[in-house]
């Protein structure tokens, strides 16, 4: 089988699995939200947002370093040890943050203690799952990864549905997360058995540090940008509105995840093995940009007319006003998808640090715009604050990328 045919086969597997996983997650989020209501979803959003903002400061991209050089045993061992240290540090910081929350609101803190522990476990299992999946991804065995992802998603949703039937509230969501992460870890660990090891050397850590030092800043800003608006919405509107925003944003991100996953996996592996990227840069920045954003604008207009009728039917009357969030999040989703393709292209050239400035701009615009927009337009402004900041992210990254490629060799980003 030729490399191109092998690549297309993997794309087909990723896309096919994403279709099923996306459909499952989309309707699962809607069903959970309908059964649990905005208040429970708001409590869950608080837990997830807090833990993911903490983990953002510890995300160094160890699995992506392994994808770049999967046969380097010293690098694999260093990544394994570093992930263990990362998990321990995450536990320590999470306990400190929880204790501070307990001192402020002891009753609410006790109510979320065990669900927060389950969500914490799912994050740690996901860290190791991504690490053990990295050699599999580097070999472009996405047939296996896609199948396992589908199985783990089905298992997690199934457990969540059973627990909702038992009226366990937030525990249904937390158990869904940890079951899906644990099953994913089990299968990728079995496929990558004895591949990582613990015999790291100074050279292995040096290689890992070199990659992670550039990746850490980008990962930090990306994860902060992903969850910062949740925290700000919670502060401005309270837990119930935060729960509504969390649900609608989750539905949009479910569709976005279906589109982004092939970019972050198969496209990244392809770009890593592509020697001359000149033609790819030209096609993306010169031929596709205006047509792409024109389609995004059309989808925004359509969302204004479609979502007021569909969203209450999907989520229930408790979410009737949530349709106002959608148009801005359509802009957000389109811009993030555009940026992700530029980012993995930069990562393939070991130039991922050049995307940091664009993420800083996104966060800055979000911080500057969310308060005045939400005060002036409510939930509509909240959605467009996320959309405008993501639009700035995509265009700033594109313009900078194009200027640097014109002023220097096209194989260099900055």
- Convert the pLDDT of each residue in 201-260 to its tens digit: 676 677 677 776 766 766 777 778 778 888 888 888 888 888 888 888 888 887 887 778
pLDDT at 91 over 80: yes
The model's confidence at residue 123, banded by pLDDT at 50, 70 and 90, is: very high
**Closest of 5, 109, 46 to residue 242, by C-alpha:** 46
pLDDT over 70 percentage in the chain: 78
| 180-207 residue pLDDT tens | 999 999 998 887 655 666 666 676 677 6
How high is the pLDDT of residue 413? 38
Give the pLDDT confidence score for residue 152 in this predicted structure.
Answer: 93
Q: Given a cut of 50, is residue 411 above it in pLDDT?
A: no
Q: The pTM is what?
A: 0.75
pLDDT at 197: 65
- Asked whether the predicted pLDDT for residue 301 surpasses 60, the reply is yes
Which residue has better confidence, 301 or 226? 301
119/173 Cα distance (integer angstroms): 9
CB neighbours of residue 313 within 10 Å: 9
User: What is the per-residue pLDDT across 338-366, written as a single tens digit (0 to 9) for each?
Assistant: 888 888 777 766 666 667 788 888 888 99
Asked whether residue 112 carries a pLDDT value surpassing 70, the answer given is yes
Say how far apart CA 209 and CA 74 lie, in whole Å. 12
Residue 409 has pLDDT above 60, yes or no: no
Q: Is the pLDDT of residue 5 over 60?
A: yes
Average pLDDT, the chain: 80
- Residue 309 neighbours by CB under 8 Å, 6+ apart: none
pLDDT score recorded for residue 277: 56
Report the pLDDT value the prediction gives residue 414, as an integer from 0 to 100.
Answer: 36
Band the pLDDT of 124: cuts 50, 70, 90. very high
Spatial contact of 60 and 265, defined as CB atoms under 8 Å apart: no
User: Is the predicted pLDDT of residue 118 greater than 90, yes or no?
Assistant: yes
Q: Is 400 left (phi over 0), alpha (psi -120 to 50) or beta?
A: alpha
What is the model's pLDDT at position 231? 84
């Amino acid at each position: 089988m030729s490399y191109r045919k092998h690549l297309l086969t993997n794309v087909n597997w990723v896309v096919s699995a994403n279709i099923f996983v996306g459909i499952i997650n989309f309707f699962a989020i809607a069903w959970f939200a309908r059964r649990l209501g905005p208040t429970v979803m708001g409590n869950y959003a608080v837990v997830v947002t807090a833990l993911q903002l903490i983990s953002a400061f510890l995300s160094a991209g160890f699995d992506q370093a392994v994808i770049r050089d999967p046969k380097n045993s010293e690098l694999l061992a260093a990544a394994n040890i570093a992930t263990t240290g990362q998990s321990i540090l995450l536990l320590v910081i999470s306990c400190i943050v929880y204790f501070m929350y307990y001192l402020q609101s002891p009753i609410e803190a006790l109510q979320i203690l065990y669900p927060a522990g389950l969500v914490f476990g799912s994050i740690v299992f996901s860290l190791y799952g991504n690490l053990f999946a990295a050699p599999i991804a580097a070999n472009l065995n996405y047939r296996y990864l896609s199948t396992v992802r589908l199985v783990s998603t089905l298992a997690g949703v199934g457990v969540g549905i059973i627990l909702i039937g038992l009226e366990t509230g937030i525990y249904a969501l937390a158990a869904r997360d940890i079951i899906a992460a644990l099953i994913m870890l089990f299968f990728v660990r079995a496929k990558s058995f004895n591949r990582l090891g613990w015999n790291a050397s100074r050279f292995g850590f040096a290689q890992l540090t070199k990659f992670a030092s550039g990746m850490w800043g980008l990962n930090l800003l990306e994860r902060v940008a992903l969850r910062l608006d949740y925290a700000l919405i919670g502060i401005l509107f309270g837990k119930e509105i935060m729960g509504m925003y969390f649900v609608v944003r989750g539905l949009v991100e479910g569709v976005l995840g279906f589109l982004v996953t092939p970019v972050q996996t198969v496209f990244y592996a392809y770009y890593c093995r592509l020697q001359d990227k000149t033609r790819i840069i030209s096609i993306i920045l010169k031929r596709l940009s205006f047509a792409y954003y024109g389609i995004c604008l059309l989808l925004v207009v359509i969302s204004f007319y479609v979502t007021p009728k569909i969203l209450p039917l999907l989520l229930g009357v408790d979410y009737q006003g949530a349709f106002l969030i959608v148009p801005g999040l359509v802009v957000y989703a389109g811009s993030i998808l555009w940026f992700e393709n530029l980012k993995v292209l930069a990562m393939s050239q070991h130039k991922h640090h050049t995307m940091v400035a664009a993420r800083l701009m996104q966060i800055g615009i979000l911080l500057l715009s969310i308060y005045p927009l939400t005060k002036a337009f409510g939930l509509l402004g909240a959605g467009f604050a996320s959309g405008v900041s993501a639009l700035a992210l995509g265009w700033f990254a594109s313009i900078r990328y194009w200027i640097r490629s014109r002023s220097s060799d096209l194989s260099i980003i900055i």
